[in-house]
Copies of this chain bind each other. A is one copy, B any other.
Amino acid sequence: MRFPARSRIVEVAPRDGLQSLPRMLSTDDKVWLIDTLSDLGFHTIEVTGFVSPRAIPNLADADEVMARIRRRPGTLYRGLAPNVRGAGRALAAGCDEIVGLVTASESYTGRNQNMTLQAAFDQALASHRVVEAAGRQFVLAIGMAFFCPYEGAIPEERVLQLVDRAWSAGVRSLYLAGSLGLEHPREVGERFGRIRDRWPGLDLGFHVHDLAGMAPANILCALEAGVDWFETAICGIGGGVATPSATGNYPTEDLVRLFADCGVDCGLDARAVMLASRQVAQRLGWPLNSAAGRFGDRLENLVTRAG
């Protein structure tokens, strides 16, 4: 296994994590969370989403959050925009990067977005044009890229077609998301490897979920296949199909540890991120379900002579 010298981490707890939190979080807590993450030195932080407050009440204060956070030079602040209207709001709020969403599942898109995959794709591309015209960065998220609870395994060819259409429309940055966390190492490595080979100029990410407990292995295979960045959430904040403590997003503190141990430089200090994860869990009342958060690192597990 070859490990690259460096990689990037996009922290998604403030948007993708909080979006499915069962309770409302105060704007103060959100600003505190994002400022804490900024202090750690993340490359990119997904701050909020510019969506209907009725659809996602926990993101209703998107503009206020963007206005109140401290912006660290060197960190990109990303907003989610489901459509052109959201993209416009995200641009006005000062987001450096805007993410648009499609899924690789016709059934899921129909049930969750009440539209066809084609319509969802067109909407994302419309956002892309608006964002590009404004000179900001656009990222396309492709959800359900491996397995869909309605359709089962998603064929690789369907994902490659979506990437091809996005590339042809000028999209140069996109990520695949497992969404459920039932993807497995071999298909992760093969799918990303195929995309890497066909579009070497694409900035390519992997949004990591972990229902099946295979995330560390999936990450290694994606890393080896040439994925440029990984999306995770501190404390694994985010919803899942089963219990909120065990599924949802893969914990950032575990990924930073994995990178540090394997010599992959992501510009973050593993110990600082681990300690921050404990503060975040305590302040937000979120269970500390990461291995790093719960059990600490080697230093914490060393029995000293005095001990």
Contacts and interface: CB of A to CB of B under 8 A. Distances in A.
A214 B211 contact: no
Given A147-B298, A246-B294, A221 B152 contact: no
Interface in A139-171: 147, 149-150, 152-153
Nearest to A246: B294
A185 interface: yes
A147 B258 CA distance: 16
Given A187-B261, A216-B217, 18 more contacts: A1-B189, A1-B220, A147-B298, A150-B302, A182-B298, A182-B301, A185-B262, A186-B261, A186-B262, A210-B291, A212-B257, A212-B295, A213-B290, A214-B216, A214-B254, A215-B216, A241-B295, A246-B294
B184 A262 contact: yes
20 contacts: A1-B189, A147-B301, A153-B298, A182-B297, A182-B301, A184-B261, A184-B262, A185-B216, A185-B220, A186-B262, A211-B301, A212-B291, A212-B292, A213-B216, A213-B292, A214-B258, A214-B291, A215-B216, A246-B291, A247-B295
Copies in the complex: 2
A199 interface: no
Nearest to A108: B303
A137 to B, nearest CB: 30
B185 A291 contact: no
A95 interface: no
Contacts of A242: 294-295
A180 interface: yes
A261 B295 contact: no
A35 interface: no
Contacts of A106: none
Contact of A261 (B185, B263, B303): B185
A16 B234 CA distance: 34
A51 to B, nearest CB: 24
Contact of A184 (B184, B186, B214, B258): B258
